[in-house]
Structure 1
Amino acid sequence: MAKTLDDMKMVHEEEMQNYDRIQEAVTRVMHRHGCKIIQTPAFEEYDTYSRLFPQLKREMVKTIDTDGQVLVMRPDVTVPLVRTVAREYPDPHQLLKFGYVSTVFREFFGKSTHGKYFTQSGVEVLGDPTAECDGEVIVMALEFLESVGITDVRIDLGNVSYMHALFGSLGLQDEELALVKEYTARRNLVALKELVEALPVNCRQKEVLMEIPELFGECKETFRKAEAYCLNWNMKKAVQRLRDVYAYLDASGYGDKIQIDFGFNSHMGYYTDIVFKVYADGALYSLISGGRYDELASRFKVPRPACGFGMNMNLLYEYMEEAGLLEQHIPSCDLAIGYSKVDRHLVELLHRWRSEGYSVFGFSLQNRVVPGDYRICAMYRDGKFMIGNELVTEEEIKRRMEAV
């Protein structure tokens, strides 16, 4: 079945070894920044997600619990984390920094891989409203990639509150505003121009609406243009916030990797301020995306500011494989011993070596094994061992296991 879905394939040990290394690397980054590692609930109420993210309804994996309630398997980590935090940490002023590695049940598509679920790692910081928090969150995202050898990256940095402040001042009908947002997000200039010309707004507002999709590029010039297009105080405030975050990133050594973009948004509709995506050289998709979502927590009765990001580790694995950044397979077993006939001495020896911490595998010569799966492969017969054509002692085998 050449077209077997990724979620119907078995994950092999060499892949699991690399996933483990990636997870260990990003977890070290979380700990360096003072994050606590958590796991969110695997099931969520369908009504919660259908209300917050109606655009995800078709992607959600649904099930029914024993009481007949419709549940969805976690299509996102941020919402269940914020909901759980509201119950377990009711003080809205407490600073909380969480890191996680969790399975997310949502369709994804890469260059050569796809599936209905993926492993996501990320960070969520709650209770800190500052631009410095935004900067540190983005630095953590970059350090995630650096920890696995990816340094040639580009950061697209924007602020959705800039567009929200513009749209909020136009007085448009919901249907008109939805189309403006859709065409702007897709950068469909032809459709946007036709729509804007028919809108009941003044010439200056039409000019700014048409400029938004192309308001991206080098930092200094893009900031200058964005300020020139400000029609109200909230738009100016959004530009200044973005300047403050850029200053933090520049001081952290990442200024030359940043492109400012006032025209992009996220399909996860809870972002209220800073948004960002991180691209690696040669990748067709962003490896990391995130932003600030200050209003989400209020839906769960404990309002507090928050900022975070997520990284699809399946897409990261695909990119690292193509870039030659994955480590070669390391045999997981220290020793394989083939025998034509087992005896008490061999059984006792295998048991002793295992109790000493070595991984040892005994197999009948009626079976075939792949030598590369084991660090040492020996043959046993009548109390004697052979490695290749060399007769060796038990002590020599143990020394070789110690050496590797």
Structure 2
Amino acid sequence: MAFSQQLPQGVTDLYADDYELKQALTGQLQHVISSYGYQPIQTPTFEYYDLFMNVPGTMNSDQMIKLIDRDGKVLVLRPDATVPIARMVAQSQSEVETYNKFLYVTNIFRMESGESDRSSRSFSQVGVEWFDDAHPLNDIEMIVMAIESLKQSGLKNIQLELGQAGFFQSLLQEAGLTIEQQLVVQQKVDEKNEYELSRLLTQYQVNDQIKNQLIQLPSLFGSPNYVITEAEKIAVNRGMKQSLKRLVELVNQLEQLGYAHYISIDLGLVNHLNYYSGTMFQGYIEGYGKPIIQGGRYDQLTKYFDLETSAIGFGIYLDDLISIVKKQQSFKTNQLETVDVVTEEKDFVKAMEFAQELRGKGVVVNMHYENDSTTGDPVIYLSEKKVEIKGETFTFTTVEDFLTKAGFKNGNN
């Protein structure tokens, strides 16, 4: 019976080199993040559909990949990492006081449209969640950790855009819109579609002053000095002024820590995940059109789980990270030395013992029972105790003698 060899739309296979790079990058990110006191956790691949629908502004129903269990309940493949972790923390509130910094490596599943930044239906994230006391300095530590995570992955030309959800939300309150209208306006600001934004605000009969201020938001991005100066001109209420003050303090602290050249501001940064409530940020790499990291503060999300705590976090898009480091050739994996052992079948036991001893020294060994090695790796002809490396030949007596003459150092390059 013939069957299709095609993959479903939006998923991909990962071959050896890319998978090895993914594992190495994941390990590096985990190493950096763990040094800030984060501990690993894991949530289930699927959750109840209602978990996401009961938290406003997290995910549209048509973005979720749904399943029906044997009891007729609707499940979804994990479309977001933060909400399940908030659910988990709420169920284990007694542990939050001593164990509140979480690190995750997970797959996300979404039915994105072809016009989305991310057309894949399955992608990997490395991220963190910190259930904290909302201290402003925690925001700074989170942003520093985000930058260092990207830097120590070997990335060049990192740019982190800072936003303030409170600035937009406070201005939007002045417009007198319904919840549905607010979501549409938010989408147009996020898309930086000033023409469509202006048309909608006119249709919604927003007064001219607030309309003009909202229309300016998509263009309020760039250097901190420029954006802050322009934003002060349209800060019409206390909430906007307080949000701007917090943003100024954040920028000043980052400048003192030596991160000024990584930072810009975008007050039109209004992520579609409406649970963000304060500091927001997303990171780009020059020449790559999509954000590689997104995060921010979401102090209101936990209340939907009867959990009285604030929170901040970020997620790194691991598949995009792989694409960038391959292009920049900026991350080197820890390659193991590899050899081909050629032997006759009658000498199999002796050859296997020799190979096992090499493997114990950290060397990768491929066995060949005919002289058919085409890998380009060093070839050991065991019966002759002879080695060919890059056109040169030498003999050896023991495994240690081979490692020394071959220039191998405990199996690693």
Q: Report the TM-score range of the alignment, normalised by the length of the smaller protein.
A: 0.7 to 0.9
CA contact (8 A) 1:153 1:278 kept: yes
Which residue of structure 2 lines up, in the alignment, with residue 380 of structure 1? 382
**SS of corresponding position for 1:337:** strand
- TM-score normalised by L of structure 2: 0.86
Confirm or deny that 1:371 pairs with 2:375: yes
Query: Are 2:227 and 1:225 equivalent residues in the alignment?
Result: no
Counterpart position of 2:37:
34
How many Å apart are 1:123 and its aligned residue? 1.4
Unaligned runs of 5+ residues in structure 2 are: none
1:3 & 1:225 partners in 2: Cα distance?
Answer: 52
| 1:153 counterpart residue number | 158
Shift of 1:101: 1.6
Query: In the aligned structure 2, how far is the partner of 1:164 from the partner of 1:328?
Result: 44
Q: Say what the alpha-carbon RMSD is for the aligned residues.
A: 3.0
Q: Tell me the equivalent position of 2:396.
A: 393
Q: List runs of 5+ in structure 1 lacking aligned partners.
A: none
User: Is the contact made by 1:335 and 1:361 (CA closer than 8 Å) also made in structure 2?
Assistant: yes
CA contact (8 A) 2:175 2:207 kept: no
Mapped partners of 2:16, 2:252: distance in 1: 43
> Cα distance 1:205–1:267, how it changes in 2: closer, same or farther (>3 A)?
closer
Q: In structure 1, how many angstroms separate the alpha carbons of the residues matched to 2:66 and 2:208?
A: 48
- Find the aligned partners of 1:156 and 1:27 in 2 and give their Cα distance: 23
1:398 Cα deviation (Å)? 4.5
Question: What is the alpha-carbon distance in structure 1 between the residues aligned to residue 216 and residue 374 of structure 2?
Answer: 62
- Contact 2:284 2:292 (C-alpha < 8 Å) held by counterparts: yes
Structure 2 distance, partners of 1:327, 1:112, is 28
- Whether 1:134 and 2:139 are equivalent positions in the alignment is yes
Secondary structure of the 1:209 match is helix
| Correspondence for 2:15 among 12, 15, 19 | 12
Matching residue's letter, 2:346: V
- Please tell me whether the aligned partners of residues 186 and 270 of structure 2 are also in contact (alpha carbons under 8 angstroms): no
2:242 to 219, 226, 237: 237
| Structure 1 residue 306 displacement after superposition | 0.6
AA paired with 1:378?
I
Q: Give the paired residue count.
A: 398
- SS of alignment partner, residue 164 of structure 1: helix
Superposed displacement of residue 402, structure 1: 7.0
In 2, the alpha carbon distance for the partners of 1:64 and 1:176 equals: 32
- The equivalent position to 1:97 in structure 2, one of 95, 101, 118, is 101
Name the CA shift for 1:203/1:328 in 2 (closer, same or farther; >3 Å). Answer: closer
**In structure 2, what is the Cα distance between the partners aligned to 1:354 and 1:29?**
29
Residue in 2 that maps onto 1:50: 53
Deviation of the 1:8 alpha carbon: 5.6
The answer to whether the 8 A contact 2:343-2:351 is kept is no
Q: 1:113 to 1:58 in 2, by over 3 A?
A: closer
Q: Which is further off, 165-174 or 262-271?
A: 165-174
Q: Do the aligned residues in 1 keep the contact of 2:58 with 2:275 (CA within 8 Å)?
A: no
In the TM superposition, 1:317-336 aligns within 5 A as: 317-327=322-332, 330=335, 332=336, 334-336=338-340
Identity of aligned residues (%): 27
Q: Retained in 2: the 8 A contact 1:279–1:288?
A: yes
Q: Which of 341, 344, 350 is equivalent to 2:345?
A: 341
Aligned AA (2:16) = E
- The AA in structure 2 aligned to 1:186 is E
